[in-house]
A and B are shown apart, each in its own frame.
Chain A
């Protein structure tokens, strides 16, 4: 029994230690600004197109589904409101994060994993750099900065997608759609919608780096690390969004 529990507990301990060191390094020199900007470019600019595309279609699908339901009650006018709330609170953050997890948690894990198996991580330590400072912290900072921004873009393009359906299929005017969408949102929703991607970004960066840094067993190991990174970061995104929503509702929403 004890032997069965040992590996996961050790892995968790390793993860916590890595996280602590990654956060501590934010306030310690040397700072690798170049690496932060490179990562922002790779993750942020690199994901922009696909994130916009997914945002657009999630807005379209939401509007289509809701249009059918709302028409039954003659409440087509509410479509902007519903699209705005679902996108900003939940769909925007989660879909963007899952997409970035698939694209970048895997990228981070495979890059760090290959560096690990070709002894580049050891070489780094031997040549005077802390790999956590040089590799993990820049990715953490970059992701925590760009994922909320990507989410904002995705939300906005999703709303445009919703407007496209509302105007072409439901015959809503520009102001009918955008006024209800705008009025439906409270600061509460915006904060929730920005807190989530920030938390997800930390999870994606740390999980990707964690699996990358503990890769062993050659190229096969890199493959395993990549898969594990995507799977566990995606699962954690869904678990955390449920948790954050629950806590948020308890704390800030008057029932």
Chain B
């Protein structure tokens, strides 16, 4: 059993499709306020790790705990209420192209039973009553896309779509955020904007975050930079006491196996040739 503070825990989780192995005896234990950065080549099982974490895919063996509750054998109906507390940014965006940006961002609020009930009862944390529309605006303002409310996703650029995806993931104020390759296919400047938004969300609300990526740069930023609410800027985390360095953990996956787990300095010191590949690619 995981201890009470565990937010997500994998115990010996394996998943395979016919002959291909997606996850091979993966175990880890994540706590509130922690950031996990998952590196891996294409097809190394990174995306499946996230899908298994919220029960979108069932593992063949092993056990998964989400918010201290074992979800391995949960029925889909019960999983819906658990997923209401998790925000996900899909690799392909996963935006509904038949709905406007505003409807997309409102979707979790109007479709998750628990969130719907919370809104009809009034403010979630004593902040007064906030309507769905208020929260959608707030969330889009967060990603600086308030002007796109009535547009359709296919009218937006790739980077903007990714930002709408983030707005939809954070609108429910989740306790755990999962980002699947948030910077894939974006130019470096847009990619850094996306990472800055992820940092902002993480540091303003202290959300536990798992980010899957193949860009070392992304992980480096997550581990060493913080959002400063006073200046509104992303800054290098302060001096010797470096808190965020400690709470950021790096995982490296290879063909479904977890081949490395540790801090950034441990990652840099690793002699494993596969692990080192990710350090070189980033060039940071």
Q: Please give the residue numbers on chain A whose beta carbons come within 8 Å of chain B beta carbons, in ascending order.
A: 115, 117-120, 122-130
Q: How far is the CB of B167 from chain A (nearest CB, A)?
A: 13
Residue of B84, B93, B112, B115 touching A119 (CB-CB under 8 A): B93
Of A118, A127, A130, chain B has the most CB atoms within 10 Å of the CB of A127
Residues in chain A near residue B115, CB distance under 8 A: 128
Residues in chain B near residue A123, CB distance under 8 A: 88, 90, 94-96
Q: How far is the CB of A216 from chain B (nearest CB, A)?
A: 10
Cα A115 to Cα B95 with chains together (Å): 9
Q: Counting CB contacts under 8 A, is B91 at the interface?
A: yes
* Residue of A with least CB distance to B51: A122
Q: Are A127 and B108 in contact (CB under 8 A)?
A: yes
Q: Are B108 and A118 in contact (CB under 8 A)?
A: no
Residues in chain A near residue B90, CB distance under 8 A: 119, 122-123, 126
Q: Please give the residue numbers on chain B whose beta carbons come within 8 Å of chain A beta carbons, in ascending order.
A: 51, 54, 56, 76, 80, 83-84, 86, 88, 90-97, 107-108, 111-113, 115, 168
Q: Are A127 and B111 in contact (CB under 8 A)?
A: yes
Residues in chain B near residue A129, CB distance under 8 A: 111
Cα A124 to Cα B91 with chains together (Å): 14
Residue of A117, A122, A128 touching B108 (CB-CB under 8 A): A128
Q: How many A-B residue pairs have CB under 8 A?
A: 51
Q: Which 7 A-B pairs have the closest CB atoms?
A: A123-B94, A128-B112, A128-B111, A119-B94, A119-B90, A127-B108, A119-B92
**Given known A-B contacts A122-B56, A123-B88, A125-B56, A130 and B94 have beta carbons under 8 A apart:** no
Residues in chain A near residue B80, CB distance under 8 A: 128
Residue of B76, B88, B95, B112 touching A120 (CB-CB under 8 A): B95
Cα A120 to Cα B161 with chains together (Å): 13
Residues in chain B near residue A128, CB distance under 8 A: 80, 83-84, 108, 111-113, 115
Residue of A115, A126, A130 touching B88 (CB-CB under 8 A): A126
**Given known A-B contacts A128-B80, A128-B84, A120 and B96 have beta carbons under 8 A apart:** yes
Residues in chain B near residue A126, CB distance under 8 A: 54, 56, 83, 86, 88, 90, 94
Cα A124 to Cα B107 with chains together (Å): 9
Residues in chain A near residue B56, CB distance under 8 A: 122, 125-126
* Residue of B with least CB distance to A123: B94
Residues in chain B near residue A115, CB distance under 8 A: 96
Q: List 8 A-B contacts (CB under 8 A).
A: A118-B92, A118-B93, A119-B94, A122-B90, A123-B94, A125-B56, A126-B56, A128-B113
Q: How far is the CB of B169 from chain A (nearest CB, A)?
A: 9
Cα A118 to Cα B92 with chains together (Å): 6
Residues in chain B near residue A119, CB distance under 8 A: 90-94
Q: How far is the CB of B14 from chain A (nearest CB, A)?
A: 20
Cα A122 to Cα B94 with chains together (Å): 8
Residues in chain A near residue B93, CB distance under 8 A: 118-119
Q: How far is the CB of B35 from chain A (nearest CB, A)?
A: 20
Cα A161 to Cα B86 with chains together (Å): 60
Q: Are A118 and B94 in contact (CB under 8 A)?
A: yes
User: Besides A118-B92, A125-B76, 15 other CB < 8 A contacts?
Assistant: A118-B93, A118-B97, A119-B94, A120-B96, A122-B94, A125-B83, A126-B56, A126-B83, A126-B88, A127-B112, A127-B168, A128-B80, A128-B112, A128-B115, A130-B76
